[in-house]
């Protein structure tokens, strides 16, 4: 687990209704550990003061994964959001997200049709 003192520098909404938060930190000695987390799903705790030992322990013990988070989104909206993130990371030759999405949905449909 990495605990950083940071400043929220920017907040932006995205097309898939997610939010991008940009944090600025002071110089780090082991920035490599942070770079290893790039494009990984991580849990984040934000506090306006120093984290207490109890809060740090709670973060360490957290098993609250993204699939368990209450989002208010339907399962199909969640799937679309996940596919959008996959496309952002590697568009696999699809210039438009809609083309990528349609291709992936057809792949999923074919997979389950083959099980009939």
Q: Which residue has the higher pLDDT, 64 or 100?
A: 100
| Alpha carbon 64 to its chain's center | 13
Q: What is the pTM for the complete model shown? A: 0.43
12 Cα distance to chain centroid? 14
pLDDT digits (tens, 9 = 90+) for 35-77: 888 887 777 777 787 777 777 777 777 665 444 445 567 788 8
What pLDDT is recorded for position 72? 63
- Which residue would you say has higher pLDDT here, 39 or 114? 114
CB 59 within 8 A of CB 45: yes
């Amino acid at each position: 687990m990495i605990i950083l003192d940071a400043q929220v520098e920017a907040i932006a909404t995205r097309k898939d209704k997610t939010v991008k938060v940009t944090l600025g930190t002071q110089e780090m000695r082991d920035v490599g550990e942070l770079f290893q987390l790039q494009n990984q799903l991580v849990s984040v705790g934000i506090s306006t003061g120093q984290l207490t030992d109890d809060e740090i322990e709670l973060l360490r013990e957290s098993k609250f994964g993204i699939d368990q988070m209450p989002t208010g989104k339907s399962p199909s909206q969640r799937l679309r959001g996940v596919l959008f993130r996959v496309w952002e990371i590697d568009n696999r030759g699809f210039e438009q997200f809609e083309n990528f999405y349609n291709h992936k949905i057809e792949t999923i449909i074919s997979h389950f049709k083959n099980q009939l």
